[in-house]
Amino acid sequence: MKMIIAVVQDKDSNKLSNALVEHNFRATKLATTGGFLKAGNTTFMIGTDDIRVDKALQIIKENCQSRDQLVAPVSPMGGNADSYVPYPVQVEVGGATVFVLPIENFLQF
């Protein structure tokens, strides 16, 4: 058995959730916040048999898209910020960050 932990952008969470249900995967959704952009994410915890891991990863890949987004950089912590002009920077966001972990034991009460 494996535990798949997938961190996806909020914009993709409903689409991914529907696709997982459609393919009979059970998942727990957690509202999370990313550290870099301070933006909302959704973390899915999916427990599945070893033979279904590839199918779950395919569903995640098909439903979580990367996109470009403009973000304003954070002002510097030290020094004089009077002359600091934050120009928006284009960064790639979205997609999914996925961890696949072995499960030693599974209990349900």
Domains, the chain, in order of start with CATH, read 2-73+86-102 (3.30.70.120)
Does residue 101 register a pLDDT over 90? yes
Please report, as a single letter, which amino acid is at residue 39: A
Which residues, 6+ apart, have CB-to-CB distance to 65 below 8 Å?
12, 94, 95
The pLDDT assigned to 52 comes to: 98
2-29 pLDDT per residue, tens: 999 999 988 889 999 999 999 999 999 9
The pLDDT assigned to 84 comes to: 57
Place of tokens 């427990």: 47
CA 95 – CA 67 distance, rounded (Å)? 8
Q: Quick one: tokens of 89?
A: 């920077």
Q: Which of 46, 35, 40, 37 is nearest to 6 (CA)?
A: 46
Three-point CA angle 33, 20, 95, nearest 5°:
45
